[in-house]
Chains A and B, each alone.
Chain A
Amino acid sequence: MNIVVCIKQVPDSAAKVVAEGGQVTWGDAPLVLNPWDEFALEAALVQQEASGGDVTAICIGNETAKEALKTALAMGCSQAILVTDPALSEADSQAVSHVLAAAVKKVGNVDLALFGKQAIDSDTGVTAAQTARCLGWPILSSVSVIKAEPGSIHVERSIEEGRQIVDCKLPAAISVSKDIGEPRYPSFMGIRKASRATIPEWTISDLGIDAPKAVVRWPELINPPAREVTTEMISGDSPQEIAEKLVEKILGEKVL
């Protein structure tokens, strides 16, 4: 089974993200592989170990995004490709998914396209489904279990009401949930291999498509209003007394 994993590079989840002049800043916090995508990579590598085939990591971004691709290589991906083009600097999720779909087609013979649940910067969580639609493939999102059979897969996915078990023909696209299993750490050999790897760069014209036009605009990022809260510490002579005071206070907020 040949698998493509679409990954993204994002500011670290512990970064102090602040808006300045309507734009995002995160100081000197590092850019990392999107944490959700680590689960997608893990799922892909588990499938590869079970049934062979190639795992290709694809990332849209500029030169710095190669670091995220190197992490993917170090984890064990067969190859990594950077899609980079100045025309993509303003790309929205629609444009990104058209480009990813074209890249998946260019890789060729792909059975499964895997994605993380969402990117922790834009938090849209729509790229997997959009890319699937561009490819004309079914989408299975929030998947926690994947069992591959020739030509089809059997998955469990989380929905609001519990878990749905789905059989699906390949090719298909999947977004992976955190309970697929803990992502592996890059091995020493993997890191060495990744550091020596040359990562091919594809431009929009290499993909044989026109630069997709962005539809969505985000003129302004703002800092959320500070949470105006006066913390009242509750104390007393016994846990019972504190508990009773606290209950009165909470009931006084009229939210129950």
Chain B
Amino acid sequence: MSNKILVYIDQYKGEALPTSWEVLGAAQELAAKLSSEVVALTLGQDTQAVATQAFKYGAKEVYYCDDQTLADYRAEPYTSLVAKFAKEQSANVLLFPTTTRGRELAAMCSIDLEGGVLPDVTALEVENGRVIAIRPVYAGKLLCKTYCETGPAIITTRVRAFKKPAEDSSRSGTPVRYDPVMTETEIQSKVAGYSQAEAGVSLTDANVIVSGGRGVSNNPALTPPAGLDEKASEIWRAQEGFKLVGELASVLRGAVGASRAAVDAGYVPYSHQVGQTGKVVSPDLYIACGISGAIQHQAGMRSSKVIVAINKDVEAPIFKLARFGVVGDLFTMLPPLTEAFRKKMGK
């Protein structure tokens, strides 16, 4: 009876997503407890370099598929390949990173493999030879202890929840090439292109996030340009406020987040929203500026390591989560804070 853990290495245009290595780390810990072997798989076009890199993060056995039909991620050819490979390897645990691709693949493989999917887990344990996953539910208000009774356990790990193993450049190996299973004519979808990604650090990967709330539009010292109506003036004020947020984020090489209120008011695009109906993040440092900290916002950021809150209202619930708090106006606080970090970090 085989006892293998399959790790899916997520890549984009020939570069592995860093969270893929976190998954490989989690797999190695599980493998030690289950006395099983880890086999890694990556798919796409020009993937050999990613496959080779996997050895440096501890993989012992790596497969890759390098094919034009896989150049753009599409769920069907990717799923068919991963599921076929998992069957051949008789993998009883499959691990994916919780990315858009990883979650989709895990979901679809669970149907092909008649297993169960345990998405977005933050911890893994082994009890009596069975993999037990801990996953946040109800937007992190509760934790769920969960496992698969039969079939392979198909798990996606939350970004930044597992430690990335150190890269060991002395390790190497030769990855094994694997053939695609679907031909272009069998695939129902075609990728027509990509639209420009927004510049800046991705929220879910960021070590530091500086977020702005509805309060960023309230700077009384600003006079909007003449000719703007009330809503346009508010947006203009908010954008001026988000510039301050962005400057601090940029000094800290972090990403800009926002509360739902700021997104709904049209201050910043939805891709910045942190919270229950936005992104769930867990950076090392989260600086909340002018965010009161509604329960839905907390759901998206409460697992951040260090939380700093800057708010005019001393009663704001965000202060209860914060390691450090400043009661004050973000417009007077952010510029000197950015400057002070610039001096320290510039060294």
Known: A156-B195, A162-B196, A227-B302. A256 touches B208 (CB 8 A): yes
User: Nearest residue in B to A241 (C-beta to C-beta)?
Assistant: B336
Whole-angstrom CA separation of A14 from B328 in the bound complex: 28
Q: What 0/1 readout, one digit per residue, does chain B (87-122) give for beta carbons within 8 Å of chain A?
A: 000000000000111011011101110111111100
Is the Cβ of A163 less than 8 Å from the Cβ of B195? yes
Residues of B within 8 A of A148 (CB): none
Stretch at the interface among A50-58, A103-111, A196-204, A217-225: A217-225
**B49: CB under 8 A from chain A?**
no
Are the CB atoms of B72 and A161 closer together than 8 Å?
Answer: no
Contact residues in A for B195 (Cβ distance below 8 Å) = 156, 162-163, 165
A125 touches B323 (CB 8 A): no
Inter-subunit contact A169/B323 (CB<8 Å): no
Q: Does A120 reach chain B (CB closer than 8 Å)?
A: yes
Q: Give the distance in Å from the alpha carbon of A224 to the alpha carbon of B118 in the complex.
A: 18
Assess whether A167 is in contact with B192, with CB atoms less than 8 Å apart. yes
Which B residues touch A206, using CB under 8 A? Answer: none
Interface residue from B143, B197, B271 paired with A221 (Cβ < 8 Å)? B143
Query: Does B327 lie at the interface of the complex (its beta carbon under 8 Å from any beta carbon of A)?
Result: yes
Chain A residue contacts of B145, Cβ below 8 A: 218-222
Residue among A11, A137, A229 with the highest chain B CB neighbour number at 10 A = A229
Q: Which residues of B contact A35 (CB under 8 A)?
A: 277
Chain B: which residue is nearest A168 at the CB level?
A: B189
When the two chains form their complex, are residues B324 and A140 in contact, meaning their CB atoms are under 8 A apart?
no
Contact A169/B137 with A17-B142, A218-B146, A231-B322 known, Cβ cut-off 8 Å: no
Count, A-B residue pairs, CB within 8 A: 266
A24: nearest residue on chain B (CB-CB)?
B142
B325 touches A160 (CB 8 A): no
Distance of A229 from chain B, by nearest CB (Å)? 6
Partner-binding segment picked from B29-37, B147-155, B217-225, B230-238: B147-155
Contacts of A154 in B (CB 8 A): 192
Asked if B108 and A139 make an inter-chain contact with CB atoms under 8 angstroms apart, the answer reads yes
Q: Which of B135, B302, B337 is most buried by chain A, counting CB atoms within 10 A of its CB?
A: B337
Q: Are A165 and B110 in contact (CB under 8 A)?
A: no
In the complex formed, the residue of B with least CB distance to A26 is B138
Distance in angstroms from A34 CB to nearest chain B CB is 11
- Chain A residues within an 8 Å CB radius of B278: 178
Enumerate chain A residues within 8 angstroms of B136, measured Cβ to Cβ. 123, 224
A121 — nearest CB in chain B belongs to which residue?
B138
Q: Is the interface of B mostly helix, strand, loop or mixed?
A: mixed
With A13-B139, A139-B108, A227-B321 as given contacts, are A162 and B333 in contact (CB-CB < 8 Å)?
A: no
**Assuming the A-B contacts A139-B108, A165-B192, are A255 and B305 also in contact, with contact meaning beta carbons closer than 8 angstroms in the complex?**
yes
Q: Which residues of B contact A49 (CB under 8 A)?
A: none
Contact size class for B?
Answer: 35 or more
CB-defined contacts of B52 to chain A, threshold 8 Å: none
Q: Does B172 contact A (CB under 8 A)?
A: no
Docked-complex contact B277 and A178, CB < 8 angstroms: yes
- A125-174: which have CB < 8 Å to B? 125-130, 132-134, 137-142, 154, 156-169, 172
CA distance in complex: A172, B103 (Å): 18
**Known A-B contacts A130-B107, A215-B115, A239-B333; A162 and B194 likewise in contact (beta carbons under 8 Å):** yes
Contact yes or no, A13 B276, CB < 8 A: yes
Interface residue A232 (Cβ < 8 Å from any Cβ of B)? yes
The one of B197, B302, B324 in contact with A249, judged by C-beta atoms closer than 8 angstroms, is B324
Contacts of B188 in A (CB 8 A): 137-138, 168-169, 172
Determine whether A93 belongs to the interface, using a CB cutoff of 8 Å to chain B: yes
* Contact of A164 with B148 at beta-carbon distance under 8 Å, contacts A123-B120, A129-B108 already known: no
A81 vs chain B, min Cβ distance (A): 22
Q: Write the B289-307 contact mask toward A (1 if CB under 8 angstroms, else 0).
A: 0000001100000100111
A217-B148, A221-B145 known, 7 other contacts, Cβ within 8 Å: A92-B116, A94-B117, A159-B73, A160-B17, A160-B202, A166-B191, A169-B189
A-B pairs with lowest CB-CB distance, top 5: A162-B197, A129-B107, A215-B116, A126-B107, A243-B336
* A–B Cβ pairs within 8 angstroms, 12 of them: A13-B295, A123-B136, A130-B108, A141-B103, A162-B195, A177-B270, A178-B278, A215-B116, A217-B149, A233-B326, A242-B336, A255-B284
Instruction: Using CB atoms and an 8 Å cutoff, list the residues of chain A in contact with chain B.
Output: 11, 13-14, 17-19, 24, 35-36, 92-94, 97, 120-130, 132-134, 137-142, 154, 156-169, 172, 177-179, 214-224, 227, 229-235, 239-240, 242-244, 246-247, 249-251, 253, 255-256
